[in-house]
Amino acid sequence: MAQKKAPSAKKSSTEAKTAPAAVKNTAAAAKKAEPAEKKSEPVAEKNAPAAPKPEAVAEKAKPAAKKAEPVPVKTEPVAQKSEPSAKKAEPTARKAEPAAKKAEPAAKKAEPVTKKAEPAAKNAEPAPKKAEPAAKKAEPVTKKAEPAAKNAEPAPKKTKPAAKKAKPVAKKTASAAKKTAPAEEKVKPVTENPAPAAEETKPAAEQAAPVTEEPKTVVTEPVQPKEEAPMEPQYTTPRRSIAFIGSECHPFVKTGGLGDVMYALPRELVAENCDVRVILPRYACIPQKYQDQMVYRGEFYMDLGLTGRSYYVGIMEYVHDGVVYDFIDNQEFFSAGNPYIGLVDDIPKYCFFSKAALAALNYMNWIPDIIHCHDWQAALVPVYLRTMFQNSPVGHAKTVLTIHNLRFQGIYNIPTLKYWTGLPDEVFNMGAMKQGYEDANMLKGGLAYADRITTVSYTYAQEIQTAEYGEKLEDHLRYHSDKLRGIVNGIDYGMWNPATDPALAVNYDITNVLEHKWQNKLALQQELGLVQDQGKFVIGLISRLTNQKGLDLVNAIIPQVMDGNTQVVVLGTGDKEYEDTFRYYEDAYKGMFSACIQYDESRAHRIYAAADALLVPSRFEPCGLTQLNAMHYGTLPIVRETGGLKDTVQPYNIFNGDGNGFTFDRYDAGLLLDAINRAKTEYFVNRYHWDEVVQRDMAKDVSWSNSARQYKDLYLELTPW
Ligand code: ADP
Ligand code: GLC
């Protein structure tokens, strides 16, 4: 871990001074400095890999310049409401200059408020108004318009909300109806269904207030009326509504597997009779083509912790394939070119995001049965929900917190987290957020308050309860083990399909893989300047270049792997030491080793298709998606038996030919080399058996369907009405 620090660690300390957050903090600010240093490693990792996707990266370049005038940016969102798509264009552009803003944080902040028009007043007494959001929502359908007036009678939340929902997605309409029914039956305190919930729960409505502030113009352009209600599918389980809350999601922003899961699982849940809404930050680095398709859904002001300020929360909506994506807009927090920057920026950012996401649900009057949050960035959601939001409409939802990577926890000193969250003192005890003598751990708090904890494989669920993999939370996890379970990830068969993948030189499927796969190998060799020879054994490695991924093992054995008949292709970005190591090998083994130090989604697809084997020798791996992609493309994985790698790759058995790939257990370079040599032997000596495994892997079910059903069962377990 130590190695990672380098890049991001520096940042943290530097930015500490500039960051707006720091400024406000006064006393707290000082403390931050130290903790930042300590924790820097974990942070560093994320940041490093932060190497945003191809698209994101591209954009970043430009925005960087603009960032200068942050204030103005914020204002736009409001304006945009009218003509959503058109406006968006500008916001993105401006985002860039965050740096400048930070300089005079206090000052800026003030302005944003001002611009927005009447918000200033509201902010003063945020609580009082809050109630109205509900009301507005009611008419959103009708379209914005007389916002102010409406606010007056918050109570009227009247049932309209139901109507609203309908718009976002045509399907919902139908579904909404269903939900209602079951909801009624339930014994729950307050209905979860948006519409009813609002009415019944007056008190709730009020609570919403604290958080929410009057949405000025309650606009609400109907979200692209997608399809008409399709023919009623035959569902075997009752309908449930789920709000996904997380920090990244393909194709908007992705730095690793979390982005894949946030994309694929909601889509699969729609097929499992779920009404799903995904709540994400509206980062400036989201490709413009998506920004342009977002529709303004509303806005309000929200207080945050002990800052004494009222923060703008805009909601931009995008609907695709039955899933509604709601982006939380606030350029003060989301204007950087990367989703992750460093603790000093990220801690306040995700404190804001988690609270704003809940406030937005109240504001939209869309109260889900389940709130499913992901990783430390959204881990405060269950904590806010069971404290500040407990008596608001959304307080009736159950929560599931999924750990995608325990290494990242969101740790900072207690004063700073109190400052940014305003959470009550009892939350900062050892059973919840407190860690050690002076730190607060956002993930730890979420684990304590969530109704269920999941992680992305069965084996990792066991491993994290041990000191070796527990990242210092093993005791806490063992304490909560009764609500912890592992559900392995899958891959989206639409996104990963060698028969239709537009990135490939030649498409193929299980029936003709042996005739066509090698053509992709030749094409990739040409693309990367490698010796073109279909007889070479090509090993791929697609990964964030971090300590987690076992790259020191790879580094140690490359000279022995490069035997003249083997080629290695590395695609990844991350820690400089690894990037430089692979660049060195590219130079040392010209024509046989390719180091693609970049994030390139389509090149990744081509490597999965062209390589014979894919290396995943991870030190720890919660699930791992690259080995799943590889198998689905007929590329045999060579993995370490840990976490999800152990659960998804059955070791090849040379005696009976069973298995999916080549594995080794202990974290040892010699064992990795042995696994690679066993793979080579099968490839060069027993090609017939190798080919059998290729086809077996392509036939293996690594889709989301089975796992999505397990999540649905979990949701039903929490909402047994
Ligand atoms: P992690 O989430 O720990 O990074 P996973 O295996 O779960 O690892 O997911 C990694 C995802 O990111 C996969 O979809 C993989 O194809 C993709 N990926 C990783 N590095 C790159 C890269 N440099 N270019 C393109 N895609 C990448
Ligand atoms: C994390 C883990 C990875 C997992 C992914 C999606 O990034 O490192 O193993 O596949 O999340 O859950």
pLDDT digits (tens, 9 = 90+) for 333-382: 999 889 999 999 999 999 999 999 999 999 999 999 999 999 999 999 99
Q: What is the pTM of this model?
A: 0.74
Ligand 1 in reach of 571 Cβ (< 6 A) = yes
Q: Is residue 243 within 8 Å of residue 397, measured between CB atoms? A: yes
Q: Tell me, yes or no, whether 555 lies in a domain.
A: yes
Q: Which pLDDT does position 721 carry in this prediction? A: 82
Judgement on whether residues 535 and 478 belong to the same structural domain of the protein: no
> How far does residue 201's CA lie from ligand 1's centre (Å)?
44
Selected residue with higher pLDDT from 71 and 607: 607
Give the CATH number, domain containing residue 255.
Answer: 3.40.50.2000
Q: Which of 162-176, 267-281, 493-507, 531-545 has the lowest mean pLDDT?
A: 162-176
Judgement on whether residues 520 and 626 belong to the same structural domain of the protein: yes
Inter-axis angle of helices 84-95 and 54-66, nearest 10: 70
Instruction: Note every long-range contact of 285-288, with CB atoms under 8 Å and residues 24 or more positions apart, other chains counting.
Output: 285/52, 285/56, 285/59, 285/60, 285/63, 285/253, 285/336, 285/337, 285/338, 285/339, 286/56, 286/92, 286/252, 286/253, 286/327, 287/55, 287/56, 287/59, 287/251, 287/252, 288/59, 288/88, 288/89, 288/92
Q: Tell me, yes or no, whether 349 lies in a domain.
A: yes
Q: Tell me, yes or no, whether 289 lies in a domain.
A: yes
Q: Tell me, yes or no, whether 248 lies in a domain.
A: yes
Q: Is the pLDDT of residue 516 over 70?
A: yes
Q: Tell me, yes or no, whether 721 lies in a domain.
A: no
Q: Tell me, yes or no, whether 226 lies in a domain.
A: no
Our mutation pick for probing the ligand 1 site, out of 544, 575, 621, 704, counting the most ligand atoms within 8 A of Cβ, is 544
Judgement on whether residues 357 and 409 belong to the same structural domain of the protein: yes
> How far does residue 697's CA lie from ligand 1's centre (Å)?
20
Judgement on whether residues 600 and 482 belong to the same structural domain of the protein: no
Our mutation pick for probing the ligand 1 site, out of 53, 250, 258, 260, counting the most ligand atoms within 8 A of Cβ, is 260
Return d(Cα 573, Cα 578) in angstroms, integer. Answer: 8
> How far does residue 296's CA lie from ligand 1's centre (Å)?
31
- Cα end-to-end span (Å), the chain: 46
Return d(Cα 7, Cα 23) in angstroms, integer. Answer: 23
Mean pLDDT for the stretch of residues 660-674: 98
Q: What is the dihedral of CA 168, 170, 174, 180, to 10 degrees?
A: 0
Q: Which of 60-69, 511-520, 556-565 has the lowest mean pLDDT?
A: 60-69
Our mutation pick for probing the ligand 1 site, out of 626, 627, 642, counting the most ligand atoms within 8 A of Cβ, is 626
Return d(Cα 169, Cα 130) in angstroms, integer. Answer: 26
Q: Which of 216, 248, 274 is the last residue of a domain?
A: 216
Is-cis flag, bond preceding 251, omega within 30? yes
Q: Which protein residues are within 6 Å of ligand 2, measured from CB?
A: 256-258, 261, 404-405, 456, 489, 621-625, 644
Return d(Cα 182, Cα 421) in angstroms, integer. Answer: 35
Return d(Cα 7, Cα 44) in angstroms, integer. Answer: 7
CA of 616, closest atom in ligand 1: 6
Ligand 1 in reach of 648 Cβ (< 6 A) = no
Judgement on whether residues 447 and 342 belong to the same structural domain of the protein: yes
Q: Is the pLDDT of residue 113 over 70?
A: no
Q: Per-residue pLDDT tens for 118-136?
A: 333 333 333 333 333 333 3
CA of 548, closest atom in ligand 2: 8
Judgement on whether residues 245 and 191 belong to the same structural domain of the protein: no
Q: Which of 163, 184, 216 is the last residue of a domain?
A: 216
> How far does residue 604's CA lie from ligand 1's centre (Å)?
9
Judgement on whether residues 311 and 258 belong to the same structural domain of the protein: yes
Judgement on whether residues 271 and 356 belong to the same structural domain of the protein: yes
Q: Is residue 474 within 8 Å of residue 497, measured between CB atoms? A: no
Q: Which of 449, 469, 486 is the last residue of a domain?
A: 486
Q: Per-residue pLDDT tens for 432-471?
A: 999 999 999 999 999 999 999 999 999 999 999 999 999 9
CA of 622, closest atom in ligand 2: 9
Tokens coding 255:
């730095």
Ligand 1 in reach of 247 Cβ (< 6 A) = no
Contacts of residue 640, defined as CB under 8 A and 6 or more positions apart, other chains included, come to 550, 616, 617, 618, 619, 621, 663, 664, 665, 667, 672
Res. 231 pLDDT band, cuts 50 70 90: low
Return d(Cα 242, Cα 721) in angstroms, integer. Answer: 15
> How far does residue 522's CA lie from ligand 2's centre (Å)?
31
Q: Per-residue pLDDT tens for 517-574?
A: 999 999 999 999 999 999 999 999 999 999 999 999 999 999 999 999 999 999 999 9
> How far does residue 256's CA lie from ligand 2's centre (Å)?
7
H-assigned helices in 450-500: 458-463, 474-479
Judgement on whether residues 464 and 349 belong to the same structural domain of the protein: yes
The DSSP code for 453 is: E
Helix, strand, or coil here: 52?
coil
Q: Is residue 318 within 8 Å of residue 290, measured between CB atoms? A: yes
Helix, strand, or coil here: 658?
coil
CA of 625, closest atom in ligand 2: 10
Which ligand is the nearest neighbour of the Cα of 488?
2
> How far does residue 599's CA lie from ligand 1's centre (Å)?
9
Short-list 226, 18, 11, 218, CA closest to 129:
218
Q: Tell me, yes or no, whether 673 lies in a domain.
A: yes
The DSSP code for 598 is: S
How many structural domains compose the chain? 3
Domain extent, residue 343, equals 240-486
Our mutation pick for probing the ligand 2 site, out of 46, 544, 623, counting the most ligand atoms within 8 A of Cβ, is 623
Q: Tell me, yes or no, whether 53 lies in a domain.
A: yes
Ligand 1 in reach of 625 Cβ (< 6 A) = yes
Judgement on whether residues 452 and 525 belong to the same structural domain of the protein: no
Return d(Cα 174, Cα 301) in angstroms, integer. Answer: 32
CA of 571, closest atom in ligand 1: 23
Q: Pick the residue whose CA is nearest to atom 2 on ligand 1.
A: 257
Q: Pick the residue whose CA is nearest to atom 24 on ligand 1.
A: 599
Judgement on whether residues 167 and 245 belong to the same structural domain of the protein: no
564: left (phi over 0), alpha (psi -120 to 50) or beta: left
Ligand 1 in reach of 542 Cβ (< 6 A) = yes
Return d(Cα 492, Cα 704) in angstroms, integer. Answer: 7
Ligand 1 in reach of 604 Cβ (< 6 A) = yes
Q: Is the pLDDT of residue 58 over 50?
A: no
What is the residue type of 428? F
CA of 623, closest atom in ligand 1: 7
Q: Which of 22-36, 185-199, 402-416, 697-711 has the lowest mean pLDDT?
A: 185-199
> How far does residue 169's CA lie from ligand 2's centre (Å)?
30
Return d(Cα 165, Cα 313) in angstroms, integer. Answer: 20
How far does Cα 495 stand from its chain's mean position? 17
Return d(Cα 201, Cα 663) in angstroms, integer. Answer: 55
Judgement on whether residues 331 and 439 belong to the same structural domain of the protein: yes
